Amino acid sequence: MRLKQRPEDFQVAESWRFDEDPKGKHFVYLMDKQKLSTFEAVDRVCARFKIPKAAVSYCGLKDKQGRTTQLVAIEGRQVVLQDPDLRLKLLGRTRTPLSAANTTSNRFAVTVRDLSEDDVARLSASVAEVRRLGVVNYFDSQRFGALKHGQGFIVKDLMRGDFEAALRNVLARPSELDQSGDARVKAFWKEHWGAWDRRNPHPGAEKYAAVVKWLRGHPDDFRGALLRTEPRWRALQVFAYQSWLWNEGVKQYLRDVVGIQKLVAIRYQAGTLLFPRELDAGQVRLLREKTFPLLAPATVFDDPRVERAALSVLAREDMTLADLAVPGTPEIHFDPEERPLLSLPGRLAIGEARPDELNADGLRVNVAFTLPPGAYATLVVKRLFHWTLEPRREASARGRRRAPRPALPPRARAEGVPSAGPGPLAAGRAAPAPAPAAEPQGFLARRRAEKEARKVRREAARKER
């Protein structure tokens, strides 16, 4: 199974509402973007029209990999933007900034590619399961981009009070996967760390101008420098770690309540996720009514099984609820929130299988559905085609497709989640709880192994010549 081979393979349209006011100071636009994250799109708008980021509000974050439409509002400014990959259409005016409350649902149209005839044959039974059981409301890989790029959870550095390590992760750790100008900006500061009077010559350096300006006058105040980053970005760093804790806690809750024999595992950016396949009517009712908390010091539990599952994950991290805080920095904080344990896709429709023009001998299928705000469409698709993402199947498929890989060191083979640096919070992490299948290697570990294997093959071919 392949997703998002083309931007038009993943389309999402936001269903929204706002109270129109002809005299409102917030101009509301429908933003149509392609291959841009919400953050990147807003950054472009702000840079183009010299608008402070605080003047732009939106309902939520939309995926970078695809074509999406969503509402944005700009305070006090009417603008015109019609770029090939980013367009704004004025809808009206409103009195207050936009928020998640303005989104009613999201409608998705997804093209799933590189399917076999067996995959298509199994799909109808899987659709019936999803319609009956719903989909566990996990956070998917998009939430954990920092893991993909090798930064780990930046907030863990902050929780240890190591603000310099956190800032290095933000400013001076270029990703092996990033070929953009941002990687060159970070490579410069990695080489010239502490030389804040130097001018970074690479395009995009202005993104970090407020941070660097602070460090020029306060070279040892890394906490103050971090507080010059965009507040919504800082909140997202906290939320990413909360999201991982939520995923791990729900997995443990499902093991305890449903039983491992009724669960199927699929791989994702931060390890594996577990989904039920067989539930009795009572279990279906329980899970549909259940919420699970995003953890914070003020979290209160009203279900002992939820409490046991959530605290077991914190214990693996060598933490308690009280540890979910950044010392001396109330500006960065964990807020408690309840999240539904299941999401129920609406108006789920499957198109006819057709030859896949992008993958030889493969088939493609169009899938359409609606979801409430905050739920991940990619998880619905992964659940529908779960057998293509099972860890054992993925590992065996890699073995058939590629030459044997050189052995990886134990650290690269370990599952876990990449740490943002040394210290008790990272070192205190215990081994992950048992899952129905072996955990896959991390994304960067796999890429490094593949690169090394290609190098070995090239060297062998050169010697043969």
In order, the DSSP letters of 36-104 are --HHHHHHHHHHHHT--GGGEEES----SSSEEEEEEEEET-----EETTEEEEEEEEESS---GGGEE
d(CA 371, CA 348): 10
- Which of 290, 270, 295, 306 lies closest to 342 in space, CA to CA? 290
* Longest distance between any two alpha carbons in the chain, whole Å: 77
pLDDT at position 392: 66
In a 13 Å sphere around the CA of 99, the CA atoms on its Cβ side amount to: 4
Check residue 283 and give its pLDDT. Answer: 93
* pLDDT (0 to 100) of residue 228: 95
Cα gap 192→383, rounded to integer Å = 46
Q: What is the structure's pLDDT at 276?
A: 96
| 64: number of Cβ within 10 Å | 19
Q: Rounded to an integer, what distance in angstroms lies between the CA atom of residue 131 and that of residue 124? A: 11
> What secondary structure, in 3-state letters, does 384-421 show?
HCHHHHCHHHHHHHHHHHCCCCCCCCHHHHCCCCCCCC
- pLDDT for 445 equals 61
Cβ atoms of 326 and 333 closer than 8 Å: yes
Query: How many angstroms separate the Cα of 443 from the Cα of each of 271, 402, 464?
Result: 10, 16, 32
CA distance 98 to 18: 8
Task: Kindly report the length of the chain.
Answer: 465
Distance between CA 153 and CA 169 in Å, rounded?
9
Neighbour-count burial of 429, counting CB atoms closer than 10 A to its CB (0-12 exposed, 13-18 middle, 19+ buried): middle
The predicted structure's pLDDT at residue 412: 36
For the segment 219-268, what is each residue's pLDDT rounded down to a tens digit? Answer: 999 999 999 998 989 999 999 999 999 999 999 999 999 999 999 999 99
Q: What does the alpha-carbon distance between residue 22 and residue 4 come to, in Å, rounded to a whole number?
A: 39
Any bridge partners for residue 337, and if so which?
294
* Strand-pair category, 342-343 with 263-268: unpaired
Question: Angle between the 209-217 and 163-171 helix axes, to the nearest 10 degrees?
Answer: 140
Residues of the chain with pLDDT under 50: 394-440
pLDDT of residue 260: 94
- Residues 271, 145, 447: CA angle, nearest 5 degrees: 65
In this structure, how many other beta carbons lie within 10 angstroms of the beta carbon of residue 367?
A: 21
- Find tokens 């919420």 and name the residue: 291
Phi, psi of 442 (to 5 degrees): -65, 165
Contact 423, 155 (CB under 8 A): no
Residue 145: the pLDDT is 78
* pLDDT for position 163: 97
Task: Give the separation between CA 117 and CA 394, rounded to whole angstroms.
Answer: 18
Going along the chain from its start, the domains and CATH numbers come out as 19-97 (3.30.70.3160), 107-144+233-447 (3.30.2350.20), 160-222 (no CATH)
Q: Phi and psi at residue 435, in whole multiples of 5°?
A: -125, 165
